[in-house]
Structure 1
Amino acid sequence: MEKFDYLAVSKDKKKVKGQIEALSQTQAISILRTKGLFVVNLNKIEVLPGWLLWLNRWQRVKRQDVVHFTRQLATMIKAGLPLTTALSILKYQSNLAMAKVIDDILREVEGGGSFSKALTKHTNIFGQVYLSLIQSGEAAGVLEKVLLRLADNLEKQAEFRGKTKNALIYPAIISVAMIIVAIVMTIFVIPKLTSLYAEFDAELPLMTRMLMGVSNFMVKSWYLWLGLAIVGGYALVQWRRTPSGRTFFDKISLKIPIFGPLKTKAILTEITRTLALLVESGVSIIEALEITAGTADNVLFTGSIKRAAKEVEKGIPLAVAIGQYEHFPPIVAQMLAVGEETGKVDEVMFNLSGYFETEAEQAVKGLTTAIEPLMMILLGVGVAFLVIAIVLPIYNLTSQF
Structure 2
Amino acid sequence: MPIFNYKAKDKYGVPIEGIMEAAAASAVASRLSGMGYTPVSIAEEETSALNNLEDFLSKYTSVKTEEMIVFIRQLSVIIGAGVPLLESLEAVYDQVASKRFKKIVLNIRREIEGGSSFSDALAREPKIFPPVFTSMVKAGEKAGILSEVLERLANLLERDYDNLQKIKSATRYPVIVIAALVIAFIIVVTFIIPRFSALYSAFKTELPLPTRILLGINFVIRNYFFAIIAGISVLAYSIKKVLQTERGKTFWDRFALSVPIFGILVSKLSLARFCRMLAAMLKSGIPVVEGLSITKNTVDNRIISNVISNIEEEVIRGGSLSEPMRGSKIFPPIAIQMVAIGEKAGALEGMLEKVADYFDRDADYMIKNLTPLLEPLLILMLAFLVTLLALGVFLPMWDMVKFIKS
- Please state which band the TM-score falls in when normalised by the shorter chain: 0.7 to 0.9
Give the aligned partner of residue 57 of structure 2. 55
**Is this contact kept in 2: 1:21–1:92, CA < 8 A?**
no
TM-score (norm 2): 0.85
- Deviation of 1:53 after TM superposition, in Å, equals 6.3
The DSSP-based 3-state class of the residue aligned with 1:36 is strand
The corresponding residue for 1:204 is: 207
Tell me, in whole angstroms, the C-alpha distance in 1 between the residues paired with 2:393 and 2:336.
59
Confirm whether residue 320 of structure 1 aligns to residue 323 of structure 2: yes
TM-score (norm 1): 0.86
C-alpha offsets along residues 24-83 of structure 1, whole Å, 9 cap, x if unaligned?
A: 9967x969x9883476x974467x598666534533222222211101100111122111
Amino acid in the other structure paired with 2:344: E
Which letter maps to 1:152?
N
Q: CA deviation at 1:292?
A: 1.0
Q: Choose the corresponding residue for 1:130, options 128, 133, 154.
A: 133
Q: What residue number does 2:372 align with?
A: 369
Give the whole-Å Cα distance in 1 for the aligned partners of 2:241 and 2:306.
Answer: 21
Q: Which residue of 1 aligns with 2:77?
A: 75
Q: 1:136 to 1:53 in 2, by over 3 A?
A: closer
Query: Deviations for 1:195-223, whole angstroms, at most 9, x for unmatched residues?
Result: 22112324422211222223223333334
- 2:228 corresponding residue in structure 1: 225
Distance across 2 between alignment mates of 1:315 and 1:147? 31
Report the counterpart of residue 181 of structure 1 in structure 2: 184
The counterpart of 1:84, out of the listed 68, 83, 86, is 86
User: Structure 1 residues 290, 37: closer, same or farther in 2, change over 3 A?
Assistant: closer
Q: Is 1:335–2:335 an aligned residue pair?
A: no
Structure 1 gap segments, 5+ residues each: 9-19
Instruction: Decide whether aligned partners of structure 1 residues 382 and 278 sit closer, same or farther in structure 2, where only a CA change above 3 A counts.
Output: same
Change (3 A) 1:390 1:288: same
Cα distance between partner residues in 2 of 1:346 and 1:143: 18
Among 145, 156, 159, the alignment partner of 2:159 is 156
Report the counterpart of residue 66 of structure 1 in structure 2: 68
Provide the residue aligned with 1:262 in structure 2.
265
Question: Structure 1 residue 289: deviation in Å?
Answer: 0.7
Paired position in structure 1 for 2:12:
none
Identify which range, 171-180 or 149-158, moves more after superposition.
Answer: 171-180
Counterpart pick for 1:114 among 108, 117, 141: 117
Letter of the structure 1 residue corresponding to residue 192 of structure 2:
V
Q: Following TM superposition, by how much is the alpha carbon of 1:257 offset from its aligned partner in structure 2, in angstroms?
A: 1.1
Which of 352, 360, 365 is matched with 2:363 structurally?
360
Q: Which moved more, 1:200-209 or 1:279-288?
A: 200-209
What SS class does the counterpart of residue 231 from structure 1 fall into?
Answer: helix
Q: 3-state SS of the aligned residue for 2:255? A: helix
Moved more, 353-362 or 197-206: 197-206
Answer with 99-108 or 218-227: which moved more.
218-227
How many residues matched? 388
Give the aligned partner of residue 288 of structure 1.
Answer: 291
Whole-angstrom distance in 2 between the partners of 1:3 and 1:395: 77
Structure 1 pair 51–377 and aligned structure 2 pair: CA distance change class (3 A): farther
Seen in structure 2, the aligned counterparts of structure 1 residues 26 and 214 have a Cα distance that, compared at 3 Å, is same
State which of 252, 262, 268 in structure 2 corresponds to 1:249: 252
- Aligned: 1:36 with 2:32: no
Deviations 1:317-364 (A, max 9, x none): 111022111122222321111111001111011001111111001001
SS of the equivalent of 2:330 reads coil
User: Do the aligned residues in 1 keep the contact of 2:55 with 2:100 (CA within 8 Å)?
Assistant: no
Instruction: Please report how far the alpha carbon of residue 179 of structure 1 lies from its aligned counterpart in structure 2 after TM superposition.
Output: 2.3
Which of 393, 397, 401 is the equivalent residue of 2:400? 397
Displacement of 1:112 after TM fit?
2.0
From the superposition, tell whether residues 26 and 167 of structure 1 become closer, same or farther in structure 2 (CA, over 3 Å).
Answer: farther
Which residue identity lines up with residue 151 of structure 2 in the other structure? Answer: L
230-239 or 195-204, which moves further after superposition? 195-204
Given the superposition, is the C-alpha separation of residues 165 and 22 from structure 1 closer, same or farther in structure 2, using an over 3 Å criterion?
A: farther
> Relative to 1, partners in 2 of residues 1:392 and 1:26: Cα closer, same or farther, differing over 3 Å?
farther
Cα distance, 1:228 vs structure 2? 2.6
Which blocks of at least 5 consecutive residues in structure 2 are unaligned? 7-17, 30-36
Task: Kindly indicate whether the alpha-carbon contact (under 8 Å) linking 1:22 and 1:92 is maintained by their aligned counterparts in 2.
Answer: no
1:53 and 1:103 map into 2 onto residues whose CA distance is 14
